[in-house]
Chain A
Amino acid sequence: MRDLIKIGLSRSRAVFILLGALYLAVYLQVSVLFFLILTSKIQMLVISGYTIGTLGLLGGITGAHFLVAGKYSYEMGNLETIGFPRWFYITTYLIQFVLVQLISCLVGLLCFQILYIFITSDNVSFSQLAIVHLKTILTVLPLQVISCAAGLWYQSRSEPFLLIKERI
């Protein structure tokens, strides 16, 4: 497993950069909107904007996950033919996705800190902000893991021989 993760991470930079960028977009969006909530007077409006924006971005990320899963179905079939069960492959890739998301999230949090410190002189503490971010992560992360796992599982329904032949 460790080897697969290592090989996988070192060989799919483009995909991970894309996903990382998407996650970053989500966290930035969430941060900015949350910033508005903290400072705004018309809170209801901002909160609904926050909800809609986040849902839209989540949809986008889920779509990206399905694309990534599609790209991997052949690889999954191939590794299954040489003896790695599906769950093994799916688990290693979930671990990779989670790693990418956590890194993007940390970057997002940092950006928000900088934004916040430069724009306001409010007395919201770092831990307060961190808690909000943590909440977002805890909502988004399981959703992503589930959507990614479901995508990979869906792609691998056929027997491995047919998965491979599809590509020819």
Chain B
Amino acid sequence: MIRINNIHLYYRQHGIALHALRGVSLDINPGDYIALVGPSGSGKSSLIAAVTGLIFPSEGDIFIDRFRINRISRNARAKIRAKYCGIIFQFSEMPGRFTIRENLYLSWLSAHRGKDLSEFEERLELVCAKLDIHPLLEIRPGNLSGGQLQKTAIARAIIKDAPIILADEPSGDLDPDNVKRVRNVLQEEIENGKSILMVTHDAKLASDAHTIYELRDGQIHNVLK
């Protein structure tokens, strides 16, 4: 499903280049549940951004399905993301002008253009029940607590029913009950044949994964499981 082949990524700021990823290779097949761990600044978020085509690696290749996303246009990358990727960011991000329902709708719409609204309502019902976010739907993201926002961000990623889920610290701001919910949700996604690439510092969450990679200084340092 995803093939990452020896990628290098640089951040350039004021003429100084920071070598954030130094030759990472990784394969993710359908049904794979992969966790990435590693110290702060080791390049985990950068890897997720590169895989989804949100940022451009200067060397190496990334394939999603049969598309080499570092060779296609920016618009085409957006389309691939719409179709294949549900992304949970480390810092939950949502346009504040739209309510949570609208935000979820936009995410769903990106993958299901032209489909009936009732299909969205159905899916929304399901996702809300799983994550217990029903009361938040008419609220704007700016008025949510960190944990509530995190949960809606997870909902936004899974509502589109995409084959790949990329999660950057999905349990970041959550209490133990909600962490359990999130673990169940991710487990269910795996059972439905999705693949997950997850960054986490939570040992329990990481232990759910089939494989754990440790990233250090932009390189895969170790395979822990």
Contacts and interface: CB of A to CB of B under 8 A. Distances in A.
A164 B56 contact: no
B56 A159 contact: yes
A79 B91 CA distance: 15
Q: What is the interface of chain A mostly: helix, strand, loop, or mixed?
A: helix
A168 B78 CA distance: 22
A16 to B, nearest CB: 12
Given A12-B97, A161-B49, A82 B107 contact: yes
A168 B91 CA distance: 8
Contacts of A78: 93-95
Contact of B111 (A83, A159, A160): A83
Q: Size band of the B side of the interface?
A: 20 to 34
Given A81-B87, A81-B93, A86-B75, A160 B82 contact: no
B225 interface: no
Interface string B47-61: 001001011100000
A86 B87 CA distance: 18
Interface residues on A, range: 20 to 34
B83 to A, nearest CB: 7
Contacts of A4: 106
Contacts of B95: 74-75, 78-79
Interface of B: 49, 52, 54-56, 74-75, 78-79, 81-83, 85, 87, 89, 91, 93-95, 97-98, 102, 105-107, 109-111, 156, 160
Given A82-B160, A161-B49, 10 more contacts: A7-B98, A79-B95, A82-B107, A83-B83, A84-B78, A86-B78, A161-B55, A162-B55, A164-B89, A168-B91
